[in-house]
Amino acid sequence: MRFVFWICILLFLGTAIFSPVQPQDKGVDPGAALREQLKPGVFLLSDEQDHAAYGLYMAGRRDKKYVYLVSLNNLSVGTFGKLQLADINAANKTKSFEADKVESESRSDVPIAVYQVKRSPGDLVPITRFSDPAKATGQQFYTLALTGNAATAVPLDITLEGENFQVSGTLDNFHPGQPVFSDKGEIFGLITSRNAGGYQTVSIAAVIDYTVKALSGEDLYPTWKELYPSQYAIEKVMASAAVLETRLPGTGFFIGRDKDSTGYLLTANHVIANDTEDEFPITFYQDQDNSFDGKVLANSQNVDLDLAIVTVPKCPAYTVPVTFWRPKDLGSLESGTSALAVANVGWTKDRNADYGYFESKTGDAIKVSDPFVYTTLPVQSGYSGGPIFNENGEVVSIALRAETTVIELEGDSDENAASLKATATTHNRAILKYLDEQLGKVDFLDQWQFLVRPTFWQKNRLWILSGGAATAATTAALLLKKTPPPADLPGIDVIGLPGNGGQ
């Protein structure tokens, strides 16, 4: 391992030293720069019946077998043939992939579909959402105009209507599904078609809402980028959530299923404290019209951590176990110098009606004091026992009582220190230890998991390999005295080697 480490260091230094410094072209066309920025996430799609449209790369599946693109719903795939993808810089060079529609919606205002394409994400990059329509006024937007075999980013005049928009004027070389984006490459929506009154458009909010509903059952990573919390993260966690209709109703979340189809839910102990001997109804977020009988697992109550486990015989197959944040990541909070954006899923009852509903609110995890994480999340009756999660939908902690305490935060000076009102939540390191003690001998068919993140090598192998190849080639050329190194690099004294005359 030490040998590999030093090889990587040498490759890095060699690339930094011997790679010629390219001067920046101050006259770069902003349209061309934007096109390059969009290139990893926007494609030209077509089918074998000559239907064509732009497509947005929304997400990849964690097993790297599929990617998901959003485009118009007029493309025929599956039994009708393969989907053809082309780079926006080379429309005439297509690659064919097996694909299926995940879901299609024929409503006239949302004529889009999600396509599951059988290929690895590779170097694709999901699109970034234009996250705040309120800040769109006065900004310049662009679209792609297809000229010949390449798409060019061109300025676009639009009229804003909240999250929606209308296209002003006439578009040259209109191509179905043209993306509309900001000067930062953030997608604002799609222009889906041309009609007598102008152009039909779909906002990015509608695109993402549609995508979330179509892919809520998929294990996605990575996904489109947007301000936290993403709809996908919320839906992913809600897919595991349930309301426990005890004497003091609260929330719980699904953590696993054994080989006898018994489901296991984690909740706060005080939610079930008065119902330890009785069965009580449990309603899952994914099917709120039906309920199942639940019962507290014997001897699972932990008063100090305020945790308990509930079992559901013959648990429905649609329930999905949660993904936990890795306990070692708590270190970033334990230092007391950073915060973590979090959201929750909780059940609440309408004060003016005889029904309840699931909702999600946002806040920050601000401090760790074992076994608790303190958060600024607003907590109310019914939230207890619900999951608290980060931007990836990973459970960080569990909501406890709706009681606040004043937390002192450290700063780099007395002036920067702060006090905040926060609520205590039991963190996942304590939760996982508790689950191991209570359920360590259970023969699980399906259980909680952890997000698998790419290693340093996986994230940087292309850079390392390409840098290594460039370094090797440059070194070989130097040894053969055919390609002298660039002279006068700042901070580097080149001694005893010929310069390049400043060329």
Q: SS3 string of 358-387?
A: EECCEEEEEEEECCEEEECCCCCCCCCCCE
Statement to judge: residues 106 and 168 lie in one domain? yes
Q: Which CATH number fits the domain that encloses residue 187?
A: 2.40.10.120
Q: Is position 361 within any domain?
A: yes
Q: Which of 227, 248, 278 is the last residue of a domain?
A: 227
Statement to judge: residues 67 and 214 lie in one domain? yes
Q: Is position 240 within any domain?
A: no
Q: Which CATH number fits the domain that encloses residue 401?
A: 2.40.10
Q: Which of 178, 198, 227 is the last residue of a domain?
A: 227
Q: Is position 91 within any domain?
A: yes
Q: Is position 306 within any domain?
A: no
Q: Is position 236 within any domain?
A: no
Statement to judge: residues 328 and 201 lie in one domain? no
Statement to judge: residues 418 and 480 lie in one domain? no
Statement to judge: residues 487 and 392 lie in one domain? no
Q: Is position 179 within any domain?
A: yes
Write out residues in the chain with pLDDT < 50, as ranges. Answer: 15-28, 412-417, 458-459, 463, 482-503
Statement to judge: residues 58 and 148 lie in one domain? yes
Q: State the pLDDT at residue 29.
A: 57
Give the separation between CA 399 and CA 311, rounded to whole angstroms.
Answer: 19
Statement to judge: residues 338 and 469 lie in one domain? no
Q: Which residue range is the domain that position 502 belongs to? A: 454-503
Statement to judge: residues 92 and 173 lie in one domain? yes
Q: Is position 244 within any domain?
A: no
Residues 6+ apart with CB under 8 A from 227: 129, 131, 132
Exposure pattern of 121-135 as b/e (b: 16+ CB <10 Å)? beebbbbbbbeebee
Q: Specify the number of domains making up the chain.
A: 3
Statement to judge: residues 197 and 338 lie in one domain? no
Average pLDDT score over the chain: 80
Statement to judge: residues 403 and 497 lie in one domain? no
Q: Is position 334 within any domain?
A: yes
Statement to judge: residues 471 and 426 lie in one domain? no
Tell me: cis bond preceding 229? Omega within 30 of 0 counts.
yes
Statement to judge: residues 492 and 403 lie in one domain? no
Q: What is the pTM of this model?
A: 0.62
Q: Could you identify the residue written with the tokens 């061309």?
A: 32
Q: State the pLDDT at residue 23.
A: 38
Q: Which of 193, 227, 261 is the last residue of a domain?
A: 227
What would the DSSP string read from start to end of 123-157? T----BB---GGG-TT--EEEEEEETTEEEEEEE-
The tokens describing 462, both together, are: 């292309």
